[in-house]
Amino acid sequence: MTTTTDPVLSVRNAQKHFGAVHALKDVSLQAYRGEVLALLGDNGAGKSTLIKCVSGVHGLDAGEIFLDGERADIRTPASARRAGIETVYQDLALFDNLTPAQNFYCGREIASPSWLPRGLRFLSHRAMDQEAARVLDRLKVKLPKFDAPVALMSGGQRQAIAVARATVFARKVVILDEPTAALGLRESRKVLDLISQLRAEGNAVILITHNMEHVVELADRAVVLRQGRKVGELKPTRANQQELVSLIVGAET
Amino acid sequence: MGELVSEQPETAPSGGSSHRPTASLGVTVGLRLLAIGPLLVLVILIGAISLLTPNFLKPINVSNIIAQTAVIAIVAIGQHLVILTRGIDLSVGSNLALSTVVGGLVYLGTGSAPLVILAILLTGAAVGAFNGLAFVYGRLPHPFIITLATLSICRGLALELAPGHTTMRGMPDVIQAIGGASTFGIPNSFFVVLGVVVIALIMTKAMVWGRWIYAVGGAPDAARQMGIPVKGVLVSTYVISGLCAGIGAVVLAGRTAASSPLYGNLLELDTIAAVIIGGASFLGGRGHIGHALVGAVTIGVIRNALNLLNVDVFFQMIAIGSIIVVAVEADVLRNYLESRVRVLQATRTQ
């Protein structure tokens, strides 16, 4: 399913230094629509650095990022978002005091009239509520109350809201940084279902996780980083799960 | 509020593990009570006081309360916006004094009412702009220090500028009418408050800018990530807080037909107290204009009632301070209850 189309995201020969630390050594990576790509590696392997370069938090020292075949100049988180890359970090970047719909559109409000400066426009409450409700419904995210602040929702519900928000604006790639790390079993299950829903809708999903069960179950492809280098790329199955773990920790097989 | 507050924490968690529906009900009821708590307290307060002193609800006294509360209410609305962004504006009291003095000087020089009003409002907004710009672009960790500095600077400047370092008599008729006269038996200052409330409501509830204020207060880092112009939003709240101090200055100068470098003493504490007593969160991002209003009226009612009851003025300070303690604890309790709701949500997810 991955070879038939061109990659939506292509990172070529990425290099990143932090002082004396060589965090990314010539890493290349492709992501395709309708595919979940697992990005694996031990702590300090370079996963987060790579993701932060793609989402504009860090700039690459060398190497290029292509989106749909065109070279993308990603320097800031805002430019990454404009380019169609949405990232859900572990802190979720949710506004606890706002409702799910308000969270969806915070910073990108639907408002008019357009001739006014952005801050002085009037909010289209109904349009935003309806659109947010439609997306949550489509993604089968169930919330106890749609008009309650996010502070009143569980970890899984908050994760779902953050992921759903990302999908609204992600035209190219959704990056999820350990989305189940803070969740219990049942809530993790919900988020995994949500991820496969995203894939079914044709999104390119990059998933960072330490949970090998989730990788085997969900990922179409896995890329393994170790000490800043790409050490493997394969299709995760039950059979090669041990091999994946060996690649991650660097043990001989 | 005391009773409401102290009962909730026992009922909520104790049933947590065994009787989940009961616990959830307790938490929900607790949150509801906390939400309407301040208004409830105000209503009970008014009821109790009117039983104690029949004079309390007489029209003349009510319009007294309105006139006395107007300045606190107006300035508290500006303070509220700042507190929504997790900030604080300690300079509003001396800003108000400086604004009246500048207005008094312009009155001495020109005698023109529009120019006096303009001078007062501009002074207030300019001090606010200084606060905001120094806080944001001076990269200060918290606005406490910078507004403490302007508190001192403005008061000193007001004393320095005022001839004889003291009160100046006289204000244009228009300003005296705004601050001191009544229309249909309602003090005009009430309509000023109303106007400020309506504008503030439109800005915070209907406009993108208002949403950004809540976003910046709720999660500053997330706001930055989402592309909200955090710096501009912060500066704007201090400008508006200063402008509100200026509007308060017009009302106070009008009511007293004078300007004075001694005005607005401890007004910063009154306005902060009003916002917190009204139920807005000191942690930022929570609260609405109604909270500032309820808080301001509560303070006004307490002051007035204790005066009517001939209670020592020192006791007023103790009473208001005690209510602040209760209000802040209620805020902490609300956060606790909300974390309970989260846990209950997680366990209920199927």
pLDDT in tens, B196-252: 999 999 999 999 999 999 999 999 988 888 888 999 999 999 999 999 999 999 999
| CB spacing of B219 vs A95 below 8 angstroms | yes
Query: Do B73 and B186 fall within a single domain?
Result: yes
Query: Do B42 and B111 fall within a single domain?
Result: no
Residues of chain B in contact with residue A187, where contact means CB-CB under 8 angstroms, are: 346, 349
Most B-contacting residue of A95, A103, A183 (CB-CB within 10 A), to test interface:
A95
> For the segment B58-88, what is each residue's pLDDT rounded down to a tens digit?
888 998 899 889 999 999 999 999 999 999 9
Query: Which residues of chain B fall short of a pLDDT of 50?
Result: 1-19, 350
Tell me the two tokens of residue B159.
Answer: 């004393």
What domain range is B340 assigned to? 1-53+327-350
How many structural domains are present in chain A?
1
Tell me the C-alpha to C-alpha distance, in Å, between residue A151 and each of A50, B35, B82. 31, 15, 21
Q: Are B291 and B275 in contact (CB under 8 A)?
A: yes
A246 falls in which pLDDT band (50, 70, 90)?
A: confident
B20-26 own/partner pairs: CB under 8 Å, 24+ apart: B20/B344, B20/B347, B20/B348, B23/B340, B23/B344, B24/B341, B24/B344
How many structural domains are present in chain B?
2
């009511």: which residue's tokens? B255
> For the segment A33-63, what is each residue's pLDDT rounded down to a tens digit?
999 999 998 888 888 889 989 988 888 889 8
Query: Do B301 and B347 fall within a single domain?
Result: no
Query: Do B260 and B115 fall within a single domain?
Result: yes
| CB spacing of A97 vs B285 below 8 angstroms | yes
Nearest by Cα to A31 from A49, A11, A15, A48: A11
Do the domain assignments include residue B316?
no
What CA–CA distance (Å, rounded) separates A103 from A3? 37
Residue A165, chain B, CB below 8 Å: the answer is: no
Most B-contacting residue of A76, A79, A106 (CB-CB within 10 A), to test interface:
A106
Q: What are the b/e assignments for B213-236, b being 16+ CB within 10 Å?
A: bbbbbbbbebbbbbebbbeebbbb
Query: Do B228 and B82 fall within a single domain?
Result: yes
Residue B187, helix vs strand vs coil:
strand
Q: Is the pLDDT at A7 greater than 70, yes or no? A: yes
Residues of chain B in contact with residue A190, where contact means CB-CB under 8 angstroms, are: 349
Residue A122, chain B, CB below 8 Å: the answer is: yes
Query: Do B304 and B289 fall within a single domain?
Result: yes
Query: Do B165 and B67 fall within a single domain?
Result: yes
Most B-contacting residue of A154, A183, A191 (CB-CB within 10 A), to test interface:
A154
Query: What end-to-end distance do the CA atoms of chain A give, in Å?
Result: 29
> For the segment A169-217, what is each residue's pLDDT rounded down to a tens digit?
888 899 999 888 878 788 888 888 888 888 888 889 999 988 888 898 8
Query: Closest partner residue to A186 among B206, B226, B349, by Cβ?
Result: B349
DSSP symbols for B71-88: HHHHHHHHHHHHHHTT--
Residue B135, helix vs strand vs coil:
helix
Residue A81, chain B, CB below 8 Å: the answer is: yes
Tell me the C-alpha to C-alpha distance, in Å, between residue A98 and each of A30, A81, B218, B229. 36, 21, 8, 18
| CB spacing of B349 vs A121 below 8 angstroms | no
| CB spacing of B215 vs A186 below 8 angstroms | no
Do the domain assignments include residue A238?
yes
Tell me the two tokens of residue B232.
Answer: 């501009």
